[in-house]
Structure formats: C-alpha cells, structure tokens
Structure 1
Amino acid sequence: MSDNNPCVAHRGFSGKAPENTLAAIRMALELPYVTWLEIDVQLSRDGVPVVIHDYSLDRTTNGHGRVKEMDYANLRRLDAGSWKSKSYRGEKIPSLEEVLELAAGRAKLNIELKNVGRPYPDLERRVTELIASKGMREEVVLTSFDAPTLRRLRDSAPDFRTGLIFDARWSSPVRPMQQLGCSFLSIKGARLNTALARFLTQRGAEVMAWTVDKPESMRRLADIHSDIMICTNRPDLWGETFWRQ
C-alpha cells in the first residue's frame, strides 16, 4: 500500500468513462487507492447543483446552449455519455446530491465551483447547504479560480475548507491564499516546484497538482514532496506507478 502522494481522480475516472458522470465516479471508487475525487459544479436554471465542467452543454452532452438556461428535469433528459463511447449511451448529468451520496465515507471531494463572472449568484449557498445537510463538511474542499467566490465562501460559510485554483505563470499563490483564507492549493503540475510545495505543506496547507497523466510526471512530483496530491484522468496509471498492496 502507498502512503504517499494521494491519488485524485479528475472528474472521476475520466480517462476511460465520460467525465463528471456517475459511471466515472463509480469506476474511480472501485480503485482502492483513489482517496479523492475532483468534480465541477454549476446550477440548473431552477437552482439544482449539477456536476458538469463546461458552461456550455455542447461538448459533453447531446444538448446545446448553457447549463444555467435549462431546468434540472430537462438536463436529466440529455445524454452525457455517448460522446465518450457508445457503451455509455444514456449516462446522465448527475446532481451534486447523487455524487455526495455515492462518495460518502469512500472518498473525499474537491468540488470546483464554476462561478467566474458570477453566472450563479446562489451557487455558494446552494452547495454549502446541501453538503451540510449530508453531514459532509469534513469530507470536502470547495475550490475556485474566482477570488470573489472564495471571499463569499469565507464570509458566509467559514466552517468550510476552501482552496484556490491557481494558473498564473509568473506570480506566487501564497499571498492570495492568505488573503482569501484558503488552506488548499490546486495548481498545474508543471508549475509546481519544490520551494512552493515545501513552504505550503510546512504551514499545513494541502497541495494538489493537475492534470498529471504520465508516470514520469507523477514521479517528478513525488520526488518534490510526498504530500503532493496527484490529480489525474488516469488513476490506473497512478496505481501502476505507486501502489503496493
């Protein structure tokens, strides 16, 4: 068994199953070394938190237009699997509630709130209330690229752990993390270096590197620090690289 570099399944086992679907979540949870899932959450027009990455429906479903323009009942009629493979025809866009219930007690969740530009003024409240109702505050971290989203979470739900998703090429995430009250950093794997990883981990922060699908890149991150979480579309390759039973 590996005690190092936790494995995070990016949008579930998205290398093989359609991303952000229950099929991808279930496939990831079947692997004994997957301890985290990373998913993306938006709101339907009638305010239901749903798990989908793009603001548009076009890439990963047979629907068209924007997620926020369609009621939950209509989103559920869409096919979110056939784009990946005919064997996944009929796979649905999951609700966040379904994913929470599936993952409870089995894996922690890194939930990215897709709220840049605030297309969903009620997103933070809807998500935090749902998580709290399931008693799962301790099993999730809420992350975002969007500083205003993280500020609203800090002010309205201070008992939730939050994380900054950081992709700026020439600056450091340390100051914005401190200003936003974040204890979690999600950063592109190629941009993570030893000094930053050590600085943050020594101060109790968690660091997740994304999206890492090559064994040599996984090993490079493991050599930097054993606590770096490795977020991958291919958790099976993480297993081949690190898992010892």
Structure 2
Amino acid sequence: MADPAVIAHRGFAGVAPENTVAAARTAVERTDASMLEIDVQPAACGTPVVVHDERLEGARDGQPLTDAEGLVWETPLAEIRDAKVLGTDETVPALAEFLEAIPPSMAINVELKNPGTAAIRFGESLSEDDRGERKAVWEPFVERVVADCDAFAGEILFSSFCEGALAAVRDVAPAYAAAPLIWDDLEAGLEIARRYDCEAIHPPRNAIAGTGLAGTEYAGFSRDDEPAFDLLETAHDEGRAVNVWTAETWTQFDQLAEAGVDGIIADYPGLGTVSSSNPQ
C-alpha cells in the first residue's frame, strides 16, 4: 500500500503563521509535503487573497488572527496586505504573490472559501433550480482565482464546501482537478463529486469507517455519529482520490494511512515520519 500524500494545511499551520508566504516556504522545505492547502476569498476590489476566516479579527488559541478588522471582502486590498498574521511580521498575501513564492514541484490545493457574500450555501447538495444561481454567484471570483493559478506552473486542485464554487470551476476551468469538501453529510458530498465528475473528495478525519476516529466528535459530526457507509471504498471504486482533513497528531495520521486514504491534510510536518517509525 502506497504512503498517503502529505498535504500541508494552510502551510503547516501548527508551526507557521497560516496562509502566509512564510508558511509556504516552510512547507516547501519539509520533504514530507507534496501539496500545500490554502484558502482564498476576495478583497473589496475582487483580488483573491489567501486567508481563511471571513473576518480579519478572528482568533487562534486566543491570539488575534491579524491586527486588522472587518470582513475580508469589504476591506481594501492594501489594508489586507498590510495586516500582520498571528502577531508575526508576516502579512496576508494576494494569491498571485503567494504562488510566486512556490516552486512548481509543490502541488497546490486551493480551497475556494468565499466569493464575497455571507450567503454561500455551505455543505449543501443543491437542487437543480439552485445550481445555476449559485454558480453565477461564484463565477466572477473563480475567474479571478483561475487567472492567477494559470500563471503557476505546478499542479492545482480546487476544493470547496460550496457546490456553486465547484460548478463554477467546471464551467470556467474544466481542465483543473476538483474536489468537494464534506462537512456533515457524506451522501451529499458523494453526490456532488459524481455530479461534477470530481477527481477527488475531501472528508473529515472521522468520516473514514473502520478507524478509531470514526464516531468521534469533529467537524459537523457529533460523538457516536458513525459513518453511514464506507466512503473510502465507494470513492475508490468510482476512481476518486480521498484526501482527509485534518490530522493534528501522528496517531490520527497513522490510522488514516492504515485505512488507505490517498492524502492527509496535516497541521504539522513529520507526522507521517513519526507514524512509520511506530508500526502497529
């Protein structure tokens, strides 16, 4: 069984200021990472910027996310690019600037986080009547993101919790790989993957049946909420890669690797190395 790909979550957010150029460089320097996961949404002018939270004054472990305030998509680009992340001198980069710092040997998972509105229909499988409307909401932003990504020579994978984002990707840039992120509905995620013939699917770590993580509380699933079916087996039978989020410890990484997932989105470098030195 092949070892899973290590995907650096926000640039290994456990050891570097998340979604920054410094985080990207950290991930590139770590030999166990083959892909970097980042989040994008628009500044007030529509320019894609690399940041996770809707608001700049979010927090991580009691530390302010940035020294700025306001909704990202209502904030001028210059103010966003001056915002210092997690008490460091690193600032929120524009997507184009971020990609320029990464060699093409590092694949990029671009999570389409928000197109610039609070009404994003998170985690839903949309009705046929709603799909066109939601795609139209996402398309202008996706076009800007794709334009930046087209300048990057390496591999790109787009993912999102929002079906409208994936619909826009398939319309704007069908040559790129895509994956739905799953929150609390495995069947909806699989349905979306089938609808857009997605190359991959990204479930939370407790959605993998047969592991000790199944039935634990995480993401949209509560404690004792066992997976309704074997998503990993089903996705593999359909030819889709399964990249799981987010491993925070080597024991979590070890269980997911043993289950046979294709990629593991991880907060820390070296979890796979530790895992391989502690065989079950």
TM bucket, shorter chain: 0.7 to 0.9
How far, CA to CA, are the matches of 2:266 and 2:181 in structure 1? 15
Deviation of 1:28 (Å): 1.5
How far, CA to CA, are the matches of 1:121 and 1:179 in structure 2? 18
2:200 is aligned to: 184
Question: Is contact 2:138–2:164 with CA below 8 Å preserved after alignment?
Answer: no
Q: Deviations over 1:176-232 (max 9, x none)?
A: 21112321111101112263213222433111111111222211111211x421111
SS class of match (2:82): coil
1:66 is aligned to: 71
Amino acid at match of 1:206: A
SS class of match (1:92): coil
> Which one of the candidate residues 114, 125, 128 is aligned to 2:146?
128
2:45 is aligned to: 46
SS class of match (1:240): helix
Deviation of 1:44 (Å): 1.0
Residue correspondence of structure 1 range 153-232 to structure 2 within 5 A: 153-169=169-185, 171=187, 173-193=189-209, 195-225=230-260, 227-232=261-266
SS class of match (2:147): helix
Gaps of 5+ in 1: 83-88
Residue correspondence of structure 1 range 25-36 to structure 2 within 5 A: 25-36=24-35
How far, CA to CA, are the matches of 1:99 and 1:201 in structure 2? 32
How far, CA to CA, are the matches of 1:219 and 1:44 in structure 2? 38
Deviation of 1:18 (Å): 1.2
Amino acid at match of 1:222: A
Amino acid at match of 1:150: L
SS class of match (1:90): coil
How far, CA to CA, are the matches of 2:23 and 2:100 in structure 1? 15
How far, CA to CA, are the matches of 1:175 and 1:203 in structure 2? 12
Question: Is contact 2:250–2:275 with CA below 8 Å preserved after alignment?
Answer: yes
> Which one of the candidate residues 233, 236, 241 is aligned to 2:270?
236
Does residue 77 of structure 1 match 2:93? no
Q: Deviations over 1:155-196 (max 9, x none)?
A: 222112111001124635322211123211111011122632
- Aligned residues: percent identity? 29
Deviation of 1:106 (Å): 2.7
Gaps of 5+ in 2: 59-64, 121-136, 211-229
Bigger RCO (CA 8 Å, 6+ sep): 1
Question: Is contact 1:154–1:181 with CA below 8 Å preserved after alignment?
Answer: no
Amino acid at match of 2:119: G
70 and 121 in structure 1: CA distance in 2 versus 1, 3 angstrom threshold: farther
TM-score calculated relative to the size of structure 2: 0.77
How far, CA to CA, are the matches of 1:64 and 1:121 in structure 2? 27
How far, CA to CA, are the matches of 1:132 and 1:170 in structure 2? 31
Greater mean deviation of Cα atoms: 202-211 or 112-121: 112-121
RMSD, aligned α-carbons: 2.2
TM-score calculated relative to the size of structure 1: 0.87
How far, CA to CA, are the matches of 1:125 and 1:218 in structure 2? 35
Deviation of 1:72 (Å): 1.3
SS class of match (2:171): helix
Greater mean deviation of Cα atoms: 89-98 or 32-41: 89-98
How far, CA to CA, are the matches of 1:177 and 1:121 in structure 2? 19
